[in-house]
Structure 1
Amino acid sequence: MTHEFKTIIKEYGNAKVAHLKCVLATVVDLDGSSYRKPGVRMLIREDGVMIGAVSGGCVEKEVLFQAQSVFENKTTKLMTYDGRFRLGCEGILYILLEYFSPNETLVNTFNSVIEKRRSFKLCTSYKKEYGVLNNYGTHITLNSKRYAFNENTTEHEDALHFDQTMQPCQRLLLIGGEHDAKQLAHFGIGMGWEVNIAVTPKENKTISDFPGIDALLNQEPEDFDIDIIDNNTAVILMTHSYVKDLKYLMRLKNSHPMYLGILGPIKRREKLLSELLEYDMDIDLDFIENIHGPAGLNIGAETPQEIAISILSEILTVIRKTQPVKLRDKLSTI
């Protein structure tokens, strides 16, 4: 959810420039089941524009209506939405609406935390009571310092709390700049991930060749900076050059991505790993075991777009530690 909150802060800045008030809606509790879970947030501007969503689209109109009193009075309130009678979702959502006016220090510190890929914490205080909740709301902890989303938010001894630790945004690092990398980047951006693409100087690529990505890394494989790879980074090796792939693997062998995938058939992967082991007999075998090649799930993908979906699906199963299965065959809750 980090990327969603990152977008909220960005859009709040745009609203502030336009002199538009904002309200933050947070799902703080849930009885039963719902399309989205507690912790999801959306921003409502006083001109009716909504950034994000707290459901599949059915609750938002009611949230917009309920937010009007918060715009007028700057007073926090709790609203409920009973999906049992309206949606058939068998759940009651408890949504806190608070006036959203973070100060400049908060915004600047938040942007620095995001840039440095650090975690942060959100703590929303509330009571499970419909109506006005004076001075309840959200605090954010950035670099061990707490900030309130508006100046009226205080601590309450009788409050319930919804706490979240937000990890850095998922990063997708694509090593290779061919057409299929553009497709994979497009889908990764659509998922809210930070997308970096690595190419070599001889490829003569610019960041404009990959619309929407966060960074283009222009280095030779031997000079590639593996320090940018953390445990929230998924790496796909897709240069379409055996020699380049081998050079990058030699460089990546001391990194610890959450996922490392290689494009190409099984025979190509085995040859790459065999040569890698010949080059370095002391290589960590966990690194070898954690390589996914060919990258992706077997969903019958043929086109570059379908292959991108296949790869991203496998990355999600690794991140979430799940086994892919048809939902109709899943006996437990989704």
Structure 2
Amino acid sequence: MEMHDLCAIAAREPRCVLATAVKVEGHAYRKQGVSMLLTEEGVMYGSISPGCLESDLQARVDRVLDTQQLEFVEYDMRPEDDLSWGETIGCGGLIIVLLEPVCAELRSILSQMHTYFQSGSAVELTRSFYDQYTRIHYVIQLAEGAERQTSLYPSPAVKGASLNPINTMITDDIPRLSLVVIQSSEADDLRSNSGESDLQRDGLTEVEKWDIPLQISAKYVPKPRLIIIGAENDVIPVARLGKSAGFRVVVADWRETLCNAERFPGVEFVRGFPSEIIPVLDIQSGDYIVLMSHQFPREREFLELLEDRNYAYLGIMGSRTRTARLLNDLPPLKQLHSPVGLTIGADGPEEIAISIAAELIACKRAAVAAERRNVQRGIAHATDGHRASGR
């Protein structure tokens, strides 16, 4: 579950806690920067582990909500003995999790992040910690050019502080987490004058021993859109799996009786013929498109209108012969996958939907890997253009 989803869920959950893995060392199920939501009623959205940590995190929710205080939790699964974690822990790393009550300030931040995501904008969220990590300051800004910025409560002055980047990491799981540490010659200025925190041990807080930076910035990108042209019955499992795979699904069709929330729960609709829906869709370079309307003239019209636009993926449902006719006399189309889906011997709507979802995931991961390495990286059956092989 992406931050895009968590922001939407936080808006409807009156009492919940955001859990974020702020430090990961060694092998772990998810990457540094991943988040999940835990509610007072015991509902969990997302995950940080394969199930090893979530029950313990849930047990801390009431205290975090009642005290409205941050809490850091250490899970050190590097020892090889099974006494603490059991034989099925499934990972052997160190994970530090930050628990934050979703109250007025953080709730507002998550709401604004969701607005940015819905408009297709990437967002950078910065957390700055003060007073021995007991106070937090949030700032969000648009990741591209930082055109707008929102800051909740004024940032305390930190004497003698300088910001030095110490690590930048791009993960397959969006977000992308970069860490910045504040180095101060007057570290005591950051300590509370009211006595030692409960986190202090031997003059240092546990958080300081974990080397958690005083400032953490995470870049989150919106979900890629999956635009499905057509709303027949075989589209239903594709839309469902597309949602599960982290896409923002849009179903477009000119038949209004087929485009409804009962058939496609949780998706967006654009109704009309190709010439009507193209301006509304406003197709962007990060969009994934699948044609499966089974209406030859409408799909031909759509492809003609798509000619000068950029997108990440174009899949066409149908046989090699039908696709060749569909593409006849058209200029070469970018990022074309036909027949759509990975070659897994699929038979029937559900298995075909699985093959399509698998190819979409492969292409999405390839794009992340290419950005991370700044080189183009291919994936078999996913980035080789017009394929003649069957499903």
1:134 maps to 2:179: no
- Residues 73 and 96, structure 2, Cα contact 8 Å, conserved in 1: yes
Pairs aligned (count): 303
1:188 maps to 2:191: no
Please name the residue that 1:47 is paired with: 41
1:259-278 mapped onto 2 (5 Å cutoff): 259-277=313-331
1:291-302 mapped onto 2 (5 Å cutoff): 291-302=336-347
TM-fit CA distance, 1:304: 0.9
Please give the alpha-carbon distance, in whole angstroms, between the structure 1 residues aligned to 2:248 and 2:40. 29
1:323 maps to 2:379: yes
Equivalent position amino acid for 1:65 in 2: A
- Residues 229 and 256, structure 1, Cα contact 8 Å, conserved in 2: yes
- Residues 21 and 95, structure 2, Cα contact 8 Å, conserved in 1: yes
Q: TM-score, normalised by structure 1?
A: 0.80
- Residues 135 and 154, structure 1, Cα contact 8 Å, conserved in 2: no
Equivalent position amino acid for 1:310 in 2: S
Please name the residue that 1:109 is paired with: 112
Please give the alpha-carbon distance, in whole angstroms, between the structure 2 residues aligned to 1:126 and 1:301. 51
Please give the alpha-carbon distance, in whole angstroms, between the structure 1 residues aligned to 2:5 and 2:274. 33
- Residues 39 and 61, structure 2, Cα contact 8 Å, conserved in 1: no
Q: TM-score, normalised by structure 2?
A: 0.69
Please name the residue that 2:197 is paired with: none
- Residues 25 and 43, structure 1, Cα contact 8 Å, conserved in 2: yes
User: Quick check: 66-75 or 166-175, which moved more?
Assistant: 66-75
1:145 maps to 2:201: no
Equivalent position amino acid for 1:15 in 2: E
1:200 maps to 2:254: yes
Please name the residue that 2:59 is paired with: 65
> 3-state DSSP class of the match of 1:276?
coil
Please give the alpha-carbon distance, in whole angstroms, between the structure 2 residues aligned to 1:292 and 1:147. 44
Equivalent position amino acid for 1:8 in 2: L
User: Which whole-Å deviations, capped at 9, do the CAs of 1:89-148 have from their partners, x for residues lacking one?
Assistant: 121111111222144754553343233221111224469xxxx72114654335621345
Please give the alpha-carbon distance, in whole angstroms, between the structure 1 residues aligned to 2:97 and 2:129. 10
> 3-state DSSP class of the match of 1:53?
coil
**Structure 1 133/66 Cα, relative in aligned 2: closer, same or farther at 3 Å?**
farther
1:36 maps to 2:30: yes
Please give the alpha-carbon distance, in whole angstroms, between the structure 2 residues aligned to 1:154 and 1:45. 31
TM-fit CA distance, 1:152: 9.8
Gaps of 5+ in 1: 278-284, 326-334
TM-fit CA distance, 1:154: 6.1
**Structure 1 115/161 Cα, relative in aligned 2: closer, same or farther at 3 Å?**
same
Please give the alpha-carbon distance, in whole angstroms, between the structure 2 residues aligned to 1:155 and 1:263. 59
**Structure 1 153/23 Cα, relative in aligned 2: closer, same or farther at 3 Å?**
farther
**Structure 1 263/190 Cα, relative in aligned 2: closer, same or farther at 3 Å?**
same
1:221 maps to 2:274: yes
Please give the alpha-carbon distance, in whole angstroms, between the structure 2 residues aligned to 1:272 and 1:295. 14
> 3-state DSSP class of the match of 1:133?
coil
1:304 maps to 2:358: no
Please name the residue that 2:217 is paired with: 163
Gaps of 5+ in 2: 159-181, 184-212, 367-377, 382-391
Equivalent position amino acid for 1:323 in 2: I
> 3-state DSSP class of the match of 1:275?
coil
**Structure 1 111/294 Cα, relative in aligned 2: closer, same or farther at 3 Å?**
same
Please give the alpha-carbon distance, in whole angstroms, between the structure 1 residues aligned to 2:237 and 2:284. 23
Please name the residue that 1:238 is paired with: 292
- Residues 169 and 194, structure 1, Cα contact 8 Å, conserved in 2: yes
- Residues 8 and 114, structure 2, Cα contact 8 Å, conserved in 1: no
Please name the residue that 1:98 is paired with: 100
> 3-state DSSP class of the match of 1:251?
helix
- Residues 169 and 232, structure 1, Cα contact 8 Å, conserved in 2: no
> 3-state DSSP class of the match of 2:99?
strand
TM-fit CA distance, 1:55: 1.2
User: Quick check: 155-164 or 208-217, which moved more?
Assistant: 155-164
Pairwise CA RMSD = 2.8
- Residues 121 and 166, structure 1, Cα contact 8 Å, conserved in 2: yes
**Structure 1 77/249 Cα, relative in aligned 2: closer, same or farther at 3 Å?**
same
**Structure 1 305/40 Cα, relative in aligned 2: closer, same or farther at 3 Å?**
same
**Structure 1 241/122 Cα, relative in aligned 2: closer, same or farther at 3 Å?**
same
**Structure 1 154/91 Cα, relative in aligned 2: closer, same or farther at 3 Å?**
farther
**Structure 1 138/109 Cα, relative in aligned 2: closer, same or farther at 3 Å?**
closer
TM-fit CA distance, 1:247: 1.1
